A = this chain, B = another copy of it.
Amino acid sequence: MEEKDFERYYSLIETNQLKQLKNELTEMAYPDIAEFIMSIEDEKTVVKVFRILPKDISADVFAYLDSDSQEIIVRLITDREIERLMDDLYVDDAVDFLEEVPANVVRRVLANTDRETREIINRFLKYPENCAGSVMTIEMVELHDRLTVGEAIKNIRRTGVDKETIYTCYVIDDKRHLVGTIPLRRLILNDEDEYLTDIMSDDEQLISVTTMDDQEDVAALAKKYDLLSVPVVDRENRLVGIITIDDIVDIIDEEATEDFEKMANLRPSDDEYLKTKVLKLAKNRIPWLMVLMISSTLTGQIIEGFESKLAAVAGLTACIPMLMGTGGNSGSQVSTLIIRGLALGEIKVKDYFKVLWKEIRVSIMVGFALGVVNALRMFILRSTIGNDASNSVILVVSLSVWCVVIVAKIMGCTLPIIAKLLKLDPAMMTGPMISTVVDAISLLIYFTLANAIIPF
């Protein structure tokens, strides 16, 4: 969608050519209409444009709006319009919306919804955030296990319009137990008089999750088995909903964002950056910065205990930032790979010793290369700008680089796996931990080597 189109729509609004605008908007895809509505600044105009949308597409467009625009619309439309809108929304979209808006808006919406829908929505709102129950939808195709292919297709044609996806159909028995799945594809490609039970996937091939499962596990299953939707069952294996691939894609993005935030020492947040208030951003950032600052008291103490030597030997102090930086960077290189590998299921806790052995070899090589280059760097500095680092200082620094890289890589692969073993989030535990631990150990190595090699 080009920006210039929006300009034209704005001018249609200004000149009140609403019929023309309606025609043009109706031609567009729902996300583009939503994008246009979100770009409007005046609240009344937002509602005006939303109201000219044909009834059959307004709920679809509504689902693509951000929560700010949704709130504006619901605040300004009539009770009658709210009722209709809630009726037309898929349950999962309605729940998404209600989870984001203030309590008074939720009350008004629920007061204008029929009892049945209200009960369903209330049930959904009670699932804890990020579990399968809270992201599922109940608009799925359920087929009875006595049907034939022909009957099933007839059934889908009759009821399919209201279903969020009809591409995977779920076969249930009399007690609503999930007994099998059939892709629509298989229905279409089979003979009309085949029985569903003969062509459905069942038993070992039947993938499902329960309402309380973590959404991350749902995404992992969908990825592993290339599913277009994942069925959700209760504890008695009764089908209660499905999670569709478009929501799974959102979950994948959300989970990756969460890991990015945790690894950058941020408190994770579901909100988009531009929509988050300054105070909230500050609140998300202060805790870990505080923890890290206070824990750096440790490195401060280590340096103080060594201050007289640092003052006496020229060049030792100047290398502290380089050493700590190299340690921190080496550690975060590994921990990132391990955290990501754990998140994608490519690395498991039981692989620890394989990982450790690999890192030991890698770090010996990497540390050696860095140590040698560091020695060269320091020789060149001395001969060009007359830096006064002695040979023994150069030896100490280069040896320290080597050791620090090895220790940092070992910590970087060990801490995430320990976190996973303790059922903690590897991403959460390791960013802050690694920097503090590696900083302290780097300094201890440096000063120990300095004491051993440089006469005082």
Contacts and interface: CB of A to CB of B under 8 A. Distances in A.
Given A321-B324, A370-B293, A337 B261 contact: yes
A253 B223 contact: yes
B377 A297 contact: yes
A338 interface: yes
Nearest to A351: B274
A21 interface: no
A437 to B, nearest CB: 13
B253 A253 contact: no
A53 to B, nearest CB: 15
Contacts of A203: 27
Q: Which of A223, A304, A319 has the most CB of B within 10 A?
A: A304
B286 A344 contact: no
Given A253-B344, A273-B346, A329 B278 contact: no
Given A281-B358, A373-B294, A377-B294, A322 B299 contact: yes
Interface string A280-314: 01100110111011101101110110010011001
Given A188-B157, A300-B319, A362-B281, A370 B32 contact: no
B318 A307 contact: yes
A225 B285 CA distance: 33
Interface string A334-357: 011111110010110001001100
Contacts of A184: 167, 184-185, 188
B188 A156 contact: yes
Contact of A337 (B273, B301, B304): B273
A301 B157 CA distance: 76
Contacts of A44: none
A415 interface: no
Contact of A153 (B188, B288, B314, B377): B188
B31 A225 contact: yes
Closest 4 interchain pairs by CB? A264-B336, A296-B322, A311-B311, A300-B318
Given A167-B228, A285-B330, 9 more contacts: A253-B344, A261-B337, A264-B333, A265-B332, A273-B341, A273-B346, A289-B326, A301-B385, A321-B443
